Chain A
Amino acid sequence: MSEASHFKDHHREARLFFSRALVAGGVIVLLTGILVLRFFSLQVDHHEDYVTQSDRNRVHVLPIPPTRGLIYDRNGKLLAENRASYTLSIVHERVSDLAETLEFLATLVDISANDIEKFNDQLRQRRRPFDAVPLRFGLTEVELARLAVNEFRLDGVEVHAQLVRHYPEGDLFAHSIGYVGRINEQELSEFDPDEYQRYSGTHSIGKIGLERFYEPELLGEVGYQNVETNARGRVLRVLDSGDPKPGSDLILHADIELQKEAMAALDGHRGAVVAIDVATGGVLAAVSAPSFDANLFVTGISFKDYRQLNQSKDLPLFNRFLQGQYPPGSTIKPVVAMAGLHYKVITSETTVHDPGFYKLKDSSRLYRDWKRWGHGPNVDLKQAIAESCDVYFYDLGFNLGIDKMHSFGDQFGLGEKTNIDLPSERRGLWPSRDWKRGARGESWYPGDSLNVSIGQGDVLATPLQLASMVSTIAHHGVRLRPQIVASIAGEPRPPIVDQNVDVEESIMALGIEAMAEVVHGKHGTAQRIAQGAKYKMAGKTGTAQVVAIAQNAEYDSDALSERNRDHALFVGFAPLDNPKIAVAVLLENAESGSGAAAPIARRVFDAWLLNEHGELRE
């Protein structure tokens, strides 16, 4: 068709094509050579590197969290256990769009704003890459099924069975056992590398109470699993593993029935009861009321619940027996009396005239007795303790002076931590000259000694300290350290003697005799609790003035006056001859040590000393 065809030179075109084909062939060989070199480089030169990378890809070390140690009461009843619970977690690195995933998950399972908040908190924390961050605990069967059906749409979402702490008794031991909770940012930042590893599979840590104090023992040792995973992080098979070592079980001195009785005796009133085994120092019961359900904290308490607990004016989260510092009032009078005998300031025969007040020589101030008209002209030691005569102790305190009072009271652990196996203990306050100079910048006045002698003024003690004090008296001067835990992993913890009080046995006997009078004497302040008792006891009541408390103006007047009423206290032990149990009772604003606190101690004694038929146990 084209006229050019007439001049087409087919040979020339064929030669031209052939030369181009040769060039193309050269290029093809060159490019193929490049490919071969490339594969040679990848598969031969860098083979080892890529094998390593390929192994790192597929093999992951998964920590296996150890089972947390269980906690039992002295009779082997479970107080803290681990329950299987299904937890929904997310591996952030494997989720392409977190917001979208969360939105989708919310259509499958119930996820509250609180869950999201906690999840985001934990996501911001330092953690290992590809660690799963828990989102929802305690999935139901229905939710599990929904997740399983949608698994293929949920890259990076994991469901695994996890053991979650559970406290079968709820609020009964909340203040002594405490609770575990999710590890928070601060705790994480305080971990050393070793701890960081130990907690690699564990999401919770003891926050308060025994759970915190015995955290290292309870935790156990983490195990590991080398697993092969696919790119979505799903575990395909286990290559090898090391078993975790479960945490040690704890057995407490406490008796669940006694604890229940003490809690019931408080009857919801604000207060504390501590019962100590005189022979060992073991804590048989320790109650702070009102209490709270420890289970609320395990997987993260909701803001609503927390606000409710935190804002209650009854302070349920406050551990009254360990951290509540109260004026001990008359409960320390036996100790002051023994100090008088020890320093020979008085004898058992010394008497004091009590007109209802005491007056220092060059002062016009009257120090009043709780009994307006006084206890009469010849009050001796026994009567002074039995009837809690303040004037007798004003006189004794004045004559003893603060230094002797302080050093003697020291030996009973006043003003010192008991070093019980619980964290965050408060030490109370047992005043001295040095203390006052240091804290107030003032010198000691004789009037201060008067206040100290009746356990008022600056004196503060925790119910635990008072229980330890009275247990020391019951043990005739041997002060054993209070201990919550009786044995760890079957290994008993021996009693620890913290102090042998430097006092003659006869003096101790006199003090105990006077304390028996409190209960069994005709005019004893606690004589009502002796009624129907199958055993003898010794004790001391206390009614402590509430030191000026800053009160909120919003309180209504009834509540205001209620909170200003005196605290009721009682310390005592039983049986008198062979003491087995020492008890301290504190009731906030209950006004009367004899009327309110002493009967509670009686109930605790009965519960411990009598069997179900109301007879003394062997």
Chain B
Amino acid sequence: MPSQDFLRRLPESDRTLRKRDRLQQRLHVDFWLLLLLIIISSGGLVVLFSASDQSLATIKRQGVYFLLAYFAMLVTAQVPVHFMRRMAPWAYALGVVLLVLVVLHGVGAKGAQRWLSLGGFRFQPSEVMKLAMPVTIAAYLGQRHLPPVFKHVFWTLALVAVPTVLIIKQPDLGTSILVAASGLMVLFFAGLSWRYILAAVTLLMASLWPLWHFVLHDYQKKRVLTLLNPEDDRLGAGWNIIQSKTAIGSGGVPGKGWLHGTQSHLNFLPEGHTDFIIAVLAEEFGLIGVLILLSLYMLVVLRGMTIAVRAQDSFGRLLAASITLTFFVYVFVNIGMVSGLLPVVGVPLPLVSQGGTSIVTLLAGFGILMAIATEPRKVIR
């Protein structure tokens, strides 16, 4: 690459690197990030144990997924960053093809069609897109002059739109928002002009009306209406949100104690082990538990942003920042919806909610962060 003309590898035995840093470099592991992730996922298992009515089977299953996910993370972390950049278009193309296949031949549940069945193994291609999207956009914009000009913004938006529309079609609003956000955030960090941002926000506001009337499904509208007035249908659509607020509120500051949440254990709280698990945590560990978890998430975000800032080129910066911010969006959307600030969309609480492939995807994302963090130093001559 021509840009490498200006770069030179630092000698391996640089004295300015501390011993620990050298170990991190060699293992391609960011110890801080790893530690935070392990703390959160262990705490998550503790909450999940209670939320699943003390089901050891659930914990074992979740544990297996965690092992798989951490393994995927460590493997991903070994991948050279420039290789990721080169592979990005292919991953993107593969993701789009799979999404088209879902629309044509997917299997699903509850009126949604989200899975592909490959010889008995089912998986969600939208998961591939969660990673392929930021990598692709970062690769595309990383090679351009930044801030991006109109032409590049246009092509970026097109790249974002195709998989997003395909995922909306499934329909899976939550995931489509997250996938789109991960792409758009790259654009933001690339320095998208504030004018464009302002225009986009204005356009979004203006499109709310047609969106409501022509695009959103009935069940999606119902969720929004439920958010605005959950008391209207206490035993129907409003049930989830009322019960989760009750669980959170009744927890108070110290909480009711581990395994002593009445809302969750008496089955009042639906989806307590998946999307609504923060309500179980809030009920049993109170405000203290919530603040601790939020602090841990903040530390992860802080570490992610640090890695982004320290990254050696635009690709690394944009990718790391996008993955980090997407992680925060997960946290915010999930906690916001469970506490009644946002409409109910299917977004799990990262590292705590029971999940399968989504955990693997999430930690693979952190693997990318670690790869960026431990990329061999290049200096500008």
Contact = CB atoms under 8 A, between A and B. Distances in A.
Interface of A: 1-2, 4-8, 10, 12-14, 16-18, 20-21, 24-25, 28, 31-32, 34-36, 38-40, 42-44, 46-47, 49-51, 53-54, 57-58, 93, 228-232, 236
Contact of B341 (A32, A38, A44, A57): A38
B318 interface: yes
Contact of B250 (A35, A38, A51): A51
Interface stretch (B10-18, B129-137, B262-270, B352-360): B262-270
Contacts of A42: 245, 248-249, 282, 339
A16 B191 contact: yes
B339 A39 contact: yes
A34 B268 contact: no
A228 B332 CA distance: 34
Interface string B125-160: 000000000000000000111110000000000000
Contacts of A8: 3, 145
B266 A17 contact: no
Interface string B252-265: 11000000001100
Contact of A228 (B1, B185, B266, B313): B266
B203 interface: no
A32 B302 CA distance: 13
B259 to A, nearest CB: 15
B230 interface: no
B298 A53 contact: no
B309 A21 contact: yes
B263 to A, nearest CB: 6
Given A34-B341, A47-B250, A47-B252, A58 B266 contact: yes
A21 B146 contact: no
B71 interface: no
B188 A236 contact: no
B321 A35 contact: no
Contacts of B309: 17-18, 21
Nearest to B242: A53
B249 A4 contact: no
B301 interface: yes
Interface string B333-368: 001100111000000000000000000000000000
Interface string B317-328: 110010001001
A229 B262 CA distance: 10
B308 A21 contact: yes
Nearest to B2: A5
A53 B331 CA distance: 27
A493 B34 CA distance: 87
Please list the 5 inter-chain residue pairs (A to B) with the smallest Cβ-Cβ separation, ordered nearest first. Answer: A50-B249, A54-B250, A230-B266, A50-B250, A230-B267
Nearest to A54: B250
Nearest to A59: B262
Nearest to A31: B332
A1 B246 contact: no
A39 B332 contact: no
Given A20-B191, A43-B252, A231-B266, A38 B339 contact: yes
Contacts of B305: 21, 24-25
B2 A58 contact: no
A101 to B, nearest CB: 15
Nearest to B328: A28
A236 B266 contact: yes
A5 B5 CA distance: 11
Interface stretch (B43-51, B60-68, B112-120, B284-292): B284-292
Contacts of A38: 336, 339-341
Contacts of B267: 230-232
Contacts of B332: 31-32, 35
A18 B309 CA distance: 7
15 contacts: A17-B189, A17-B317, A17-B318, A17-B321, A20-B188, A20-B191, A20-B321, A31-B332, A32-B294, A34-B341, A42-B249, A43-B290, A57-B268, A58-B262, A93-B235
Contacts of B188: 20, 24
Contact of A10 (B248, B251, B380): B380
A20 B252 contact: no
A32 B298 contact: yes
B227 interface: no
A31 B309 CA distance: 21
B314 interface: yes
Nearest to B251: A43
Contacts of B263: 54, 57-58
A5 B143 contact: yes
B247 interface: yes
Contacts of B3: 5, 8
Given A16-B147, A57-B246, A39 B266 contact: no
Contacts of A13: 146, 191, 314
B325 A24 contact: yes
B143 A43 contact: no
Contacts of A58: 262-263, 266, 268
B284 to A, nearest CB: 12
A42 B313 CA distance: 44
B294 A36 contact: yes
Nearest to B308: A21
Contacts of B336: 34-35, 38
Contact of A50 (B245, B290, B298): B245
A597 to B, nearest CB: 66
Contacts of B339: 35, 38-39, 42
A292 B29 CA distance: 89
A229 B268 CA distance: 10
Contacts of B251: 43
Given A47-B252, A93-B235, A230-B267, 8 more contacts: A10-B314, A12-B146, A17-B190, A21-B308, A46-B249, A53-B249, A58-B262, A58-B263
A598 to B, nearest CB: 70
A53 B341 CA distance: 20
B191 A43 contact: no
A414 B225 CA distance: 74
Nearest to A35: B335
A231 B354 CA distance: 22
Contacts of B340: 38
Contacts of A16: 146-147, 191
Nearest to A13: B146
Contacts of A21: 189, 305, 308-309, 321
A308 to B, nearest CB: 43
Nearest to A94: B235
B120 to A, nearest CB: 27
Nearest to A11: B380
A83 B308 CA distance: 77
A31 B328 CA distance: 10
Interface string B270-300: 0000000000001000110011001000100
Nearest to B239: A231
A49 B266 contact: no
Contacts of B249: 42-43, 46-47, 49-51, 53-54
B70 to A, nearest CB: 25
Contacts of A28: 298, 301, 325, 328
Counting chain B CB atoms within 10 Å of each CB, the highest count among A12, A39, A47 belongs to: A39
A10 B311 CA distance: 12
Interface string B225-250: 00000000001000000010111111
B325 A43 contact: no
A51 B188 CA distance: 43
A8 B3 CA distance: 9
Counting chain A CB atoms within 10 Å of each CB, the highest count among B3, B185, B246, B247 belongs to: B246
B266 A44 contact: no
Contacts of B266: 57-58, 228-231, 236
Nearest to A14: B317
A16 B317 CA distance: 11
Nearest to B262: A58
B287 A43 contact: yes
A195 to B, nearest CB: 29
B143 A2 contact: yes
